[in-house]
Chains A and B, each alone.
Chain A
Amino acid sequence: MTRQPSPIGSASLLATTLGTGFFLWLILGSVPRTPAIPAFARKYQTSCTTCHNNYPELNDFGEAFKKNGFKFPKDDETFVKEPPVMLGAKAQKEVFPKAVYPGEIPGGIPIGFRYSGVATYNSKQPLAIGYLPRTDLFVPNTFTIIAAGSLGERLSFWVDNDISAGGADAAAGLGDGYLRVNDIGHYVGLPKDLLNVRMGQFELDLPFTQARSIDLTSYDIYSQASIAGVLGTTNNPFMFGIPQRGIEIGGYSNKGNFEGFEWSAAVVDGSNNGVALRNSKDIYVRVSQRFNLERDSESRKEVQAAGPTGPRDHTSLRLGAFYYYGRNALFPSGTITLPSGTSPIADIHEPFYRFGGDFLFKYRQFELYGLGMYGHDENHMLVIQNGDTVTGFLPAAPVTFSGGFAQANYWIYPWMIAIMRYDLVNSPTDYQTGGAAGNGFSISDTRSRISPGIQFLIRANIKWAFEYQHRWQQPIPNSTELFRLNGFETGFDYSF
């Protein structure tokens, strides 16, 4: 008699997968953010507000500066107050290849520092789901070093590293660390800035940055991982908002001016933690089109629009789409731990994808933006014989989720910004498996939250931010009662 295959029901495996997911969710939810870079303020002897309207968010000029390889969009040399150190006279270009091609390094050490601390006040959580302190002062508590700049005509770089996070001397590791070749398409006759190359570790060209977000908490959809739990094998640690290691090509049409088409395509490892988890590589593609809605045709050609009280961001609408594809590798070690012991198991690759669309609308002191995303992971059930040997896999219902967010920002004053955000995640798997912590994660497939906030620029480089999260209802285990894990956060950070 042949035993019927039994679905994976290992309590230890379930705990491991759920624990991993919860751990990743918690980490990403509190990931330190990379802010403005004071080294540029020193290089050009200019205020942070030249490039940032609410640091680290970039204004139109800051976007142009970043796209131009961290240089002023026009006549950069005339604005530099710290001249670079030339690593060879310009005339050496003619001598190449009989000499090393001349480059440059920033004249001053291009380093900035940032401290960030967040104090939280949480609503009372039932003890049934674990202890959570009502208040926690300044966690995460990070000290970050940031270095970025130009290494010559077509080279730029960025490195940021959290020197310490959480406790004393705790290191949180590298955020972004990459080298960028700007306008490499120049050598094959392409229009300016249509082809750039970036390589190293970097946040993907996301519609809205997580690493340099103004928000105190992460976008929920960015933190969503696919974990099947009791429903199958899917255990994909990939999250949209994490930095990746790889190579990215991309560019901008219209010579980098404020309108036009932007694109990027990246090949990445799929993670940034330790060695690569698998041999296969992931791909990510993003396209967007920005429409300049300024009425004045002359103003539309400039980096910033000409307002009656000074330059300002263009009135504009940006629409975009993105797609991510990878193949998650399970059981790379060739074994799996079952209640009965260890069983050999063939490795399996589960393709997954994420795709979505986004928009960004700007008008004077008002911004409205949002994103919608759908995720899909292939899933399997293990075929276990005699309770101790895995003999194969059966296709199972894919793990899917969808969701997104919408956010509105309004500058009441240049130093006071009101924020309202709505996050939504629809994840039938999380609902069915009880979610990351093994308890009832939500009372339905969908969980949402509203996060109003306000931020104050005490100085151009010092910010105090407040955010309240009104979260979805969750069931208390073994009870008919519900609770909400609401929270209030206040954080300050400064850069120098």
Chain B
Amino acid sequence: MKTSRKALILAALVAALLGASVSWAGDIKGKVNVQGLRSAENIAVYVDAIPGKTFEAPSQHITIDQRKMTFVPHVAVVLKGTTVDFLNSDPVGHNVYWPSVSGNKKLAHNMGTWPKGQSKPFQFNDLGVASLLCNVHPEMSGYVVVVATPYFGVTNKEGEFEIKNVPDGKYTLKTWSEDGKPATATVDVPGGSSSVELTVKK
């Protein structure tokens, strides 16, 4: 009798400890529908800032390449504080600059020119969208969307997206797209997958 009680208490303690150490997380999957836009591709979907929560910038850099006179990827979403390596894979001279970050011209920056095979880093410490341009190939364009949380994704050609490992909770989901107005949705992540649909209009 004493043994079974001890076992029960022990089991309860273990369960409590396990419960305390496991944080439940899920994925947010969804689809962005568009109205008046040419394509549902390359729309950034991200969890907006969570009150009272800050996130450390990742140590790992991400790369944006200049290849065949295009920025690859066309849209990159990064957590504030992330360093982006701009690589030149083309045998022609390129240049990367942005005239503002979300209209703030004080945050404009020009990274100059570098030859094929080399890259230059830049740490994005301000929330907003930087429109990447090349001053010698004006048709080139790309975007860096700097957000407050590490929970984000970019839609594919069908408008589908997936955001992994989002802790349980209720969040505000936002979109950014090149030609469309921002869209917002509330999403509840109860553990496991959540599904959401948004509509982006021109």
With A78-B68, A307-B112, A309-B110: A49-B92 Cβ-Cβ less than 8 Å: no
B199 at the interface (CB under 8 A from A): no
With A74-B92, A303-B92, A304-B93: A46-B69 Cβ-Cβ less than 8 Å: yes
A337 at the interface (CB under 8 A from B): no
Q: Which B residues lie within 8 Å of A78 (CB)?
A: 68
Q: Which A residues lie within 8 Å of B139 (CB)?
A: 45-47
Q: Which B residues lie within 8 Å of A302 (CB)?
A: 93, 115
In angstroms, Cα B95 to Cα A460, docked, is 19
CB-CB contacts below 8 Å: A283-320 with B:
298, 302-304, 306-312
Q: Which B residues lie within 8 Å of A391 (CB)?
A: none
Q: Which B residues lie within 8 Å of A308 (CB)?
A: 110, 112-113
- Report the minimum CB–CB distance from A460 to chain B (whole Å): 7
In angstroms, Cα B139 to Cα A80, docked, is 15
A410 at the interface (CB under 8 A from B): no
The residue among B94, B113, B135 with the most chain A CB atoms within 10 A of its own CB is B113
B16 at the interface (CB under 8 A from A): no
With A72-B92, A74-B92, A309-B97: A49-B138 Cβ-Cβ less than 8 Å: yes
B169 at the interface (CB under 8 A from A): no
The answer to whether B69 and A79 touch across the interface, beta carbons within 8 angstroms, is yes
CB-CB contacts below 8 Å: B103-155 with A:
110, 112-115, 134-139
In angstroms, Cα B110 to Cα A73, docked, is 26
Closest A residue by C-beta to B138: A47
Q: Which B residues lie within 8 Å of A460 (CB)?
A: 138
The residue among B69, B97, B112, B134 with the most chain A CB atoms within 10 A of its own CB is B69
In angstroms, Cα B138 to Cα A312, docked, is 14
In angstroms, Cα B115 to Cα A308, docked, is 13
Q: Which A residues lie within 8 Å of B97 (CB)?
A: 309-310
With A298-B115, A311-B113: A79-B68 Cβ-Cβ less than 8 Å: yes
The answer to whether A61 and B95 touch across the interface, beta carbons within 8 angstroms, is no
Closest B residue by C-beta to A312: B136
A-B pair count, CB < 8 Å, reads: 69
In angstroms, Cα B94 to Cα A308, docked, is 11
Interface string of B55-72 (1 = CB under 8 A from A): 000000000000011000
Q: Which A residues lie within 8 Å of B112 (CB)?
A: 306-310
Q: Interface of chain B, helix or strand or loop or mixed?
A: loop
B192 at the interface (CB under 8 A from A): no
Q: Which A residues lie within 8 Å of B91 (CB)?
A: 73-75
The answer to whether B95 and A309 touch across the interface, beta carbons within 8 angstroms, is yes
Interface string of B173-189 (1 = CB under 8 A from A): 00000000000000000
The answer to whether A306 and B136 touch across the interface, beta carbons within 8 angstroms, is no
The answer to whether A303 and B93 touch across the interface, beta carbons within 8 angstroms, is yes
With A45-B139, A311-B136: A306-B115 Cβ-Cβ less than 8 Å: yes
- Report the minimum CB–CB distance from B86 to chain A (whole Å): 13
The answer to whether B93 and A311 touch across the interface, beta carbons within 8 angstroms, is yes
In angstroms, Cα B112 to Cα A79, docked, is 22
CB-CB contacts below 8 Å: A56-81 with B:
61, 72-75, 78-79
A50 at the interface (CB under 8 A from B): yes
- Report the minimum CB–CB distance from A37 to chain B (whole Å): 16
In angstroms, Cα B94 to Cα A167, docked, is 45
Q: Which A residues lie within 8 Å of B135 (CB)?
A: 309-311
In angstroms, Cα B134 to Cα A73, docked, is 19
Q: Which A residues lie within 8 Å of B69 (CB)?
A: 44-46, 79
Q: Which A residues lie within 8 Å of B92 (CB)?
A: 61, 72-74, 303-304, 311
> Can you list 20 contacts pairing A with B, beta carbon distance less than 8 Å?
A46-B139, A47-B138, A49-B136, A49-B137, A50-B136, A50-B137, A61-B136, A74-B91, A78-B68, A79-B69, A298-B115, A303-B93, A304-B93, A306-B93, A308-B110, A310-B93, A310-B112, A311-B92, A311-B113, A311-B136
Interface on A for B, CB 8 Å cutoff? 44-47, 49-50, 61, 72-75, 78-79, 298, 302-304, 306-312, 460
* Extra contacts besides A50-B136, A304-B93, A310-B95 (4): CB < 8 Å: A46-B139, A49-B138, A50-B137, A308-B110
